[in-house]
Structure 1
């Protein structure tokens, strides 16, 4: 469920017509619903009720400070994958003991930042990283809490570019080597073993791969405890998918996921961490764009809009699907027209949809890309010298710009021409 619904023939974000926001800030822009963010976060909290747990929002999905504060105020922890994300989480008021640091390439500077600023745990992904973290911790006279990320060699049956739990993927250590890696970690005085971490991919629409991975995790917990390690926390990652294409079957609900976690891991007495991002953020946002031209081609019509691949790269990068709907609700029985929906960037890849059946549209009409709250604004660029587009947060009948569109002067002033040119 989201809070972007037609009312009196107009598409609203909660109690605000999206057309009103377009008139105020210009197009294109991202719009987020505070009510949807908090509802989706609460679904995971409810799903794990009865278990000791912490829901850590995977902020790579959407890291705007206002969103982080919104979720942090609800009690969410944060999963960060860079020093910059760590700084954002702290700037939003999230305490260090609710921040988990993941990622395969943590630098010594990032480790130092997190140790001195406060950290819940590092999810360590390799033995060289383990050695580096030990050295940094000892240099600060500190001890770093760690969970080792294991790679269970589970095919999550998701897109090739977002699968993370197969043996050929770059993430984690092979689960077959877990005992020797944990044994080595126990000899490093700057590290404290607290748990195990796993994450097998993103946009999963079936619980079976999760369950297969978690069963391996449960077996490993028993083995490591028998070896003398104090395994008190299991970090299960994220990855639960959302229904981008409304005509498709819906992915499992968080309640289904929580019931599975309870059934598979509930008897281990471990604190459970999960790191959802897409399911919290995805349907909490839309991208609103204006139709510039309708162009007649040789065998198709092109809907040319003012949003482009630099604003929303998922279709170009992943072949991703987004529902695209007009802000003015079509009359019942309106005959659909086929369009290729494209942006103005000088790339053939700047295509959002091909042969998409939509109500007839004309220049000046506004459209919304649904399910654009995750991996939209965070992956945007200024390619073709196009300014980053505004982000707007709606709560009830009020809205605020939470990231402004930069001026062209601000963009140009970031560059420096050397005196010798």
Structure 2
């Protein structure tokens, strides 16, 4: 049996107990490490998992033909990812990954109409869904944990302060362009707490409506506005440019255009901050299940793929920060909150949708704990003299914002 052969080669760390459709139990591995079990309900599930595990595992779980046994989904995925990343090998997965890597530029070709469709696939879901597992400000990006013991609300507030400090909002009235504004929380914070005037742009109609309603409700509509706009359509210079958790949707072929837009949007003494998911191990390919069901057209780049585009755009990289485990901690909180609200989310959608989101949150958390994924922040300027000689000013600004 092909799957049996692959599992014998794959599981070198920990132990996997696999129940086949005929009731046969087989144990793989047996060494030190995590233990987990799973059952495959049909012969078709066995074949699909053997031939394309990166896509099939999530689909089979969504359909109920792959089930964890004597463990949760998180524990099962953790065991599999540990072995895929550190231990054995799966020849079929290596071949599929190689093919995906070769066609990355095709998969990530994101002209404006396609980019809008990709965004709508995920971000135009019912807004009540996100309110059930995100923090109160609906920050849908990596939080910032200084100790790892903070609540999600505390860590997301710290993330906003950390980013605002890097933008050097050192006088009131500075104009900020936020590329990918989400539900408006970051823009509203910059206006309310830092005295900025902000324009947030998005391709999500759902996010646009929510962000505008929030600005009106907080009495900030005169200082914060939100527009349905592709970043490539921006034409006006501003003092600051910010992009948080949007760059993953840009696409490899468009990196130089993105940073050229950032450069052209900045006034000569302007500052930009780009925050995104990346990978420390060099270029790769997006998991096919994630690309199909969660983030079509998305990709988390290595910095080696990003920096050349920054250089060609003529921008200075004035600071780089790598956030290693922060997103794992964030996703853990989202996963727990999703589980606590599962009944309400199932009422919005259905059981299959809940399983899809469970697989997404668990697999992404494990990716940040076990593989090379991380978050990076690039601070950028047009001129070398724009910022002070050392980076001490950022920490001082951050501390001053909380009265420390």
TM-score category, normalised to shorter length: 0.3 to 0.5
Q: Looking at secondary structure, tell me which structure has more strand per residue.
A: 1
Give the TM-score normalised by structure 1. Answer: 0.32
Q: Looking at secondary structure, tell me which structure has more helix per residue.
A: 2
Higher relative contact order (CA 8 A, sep 6+): 1
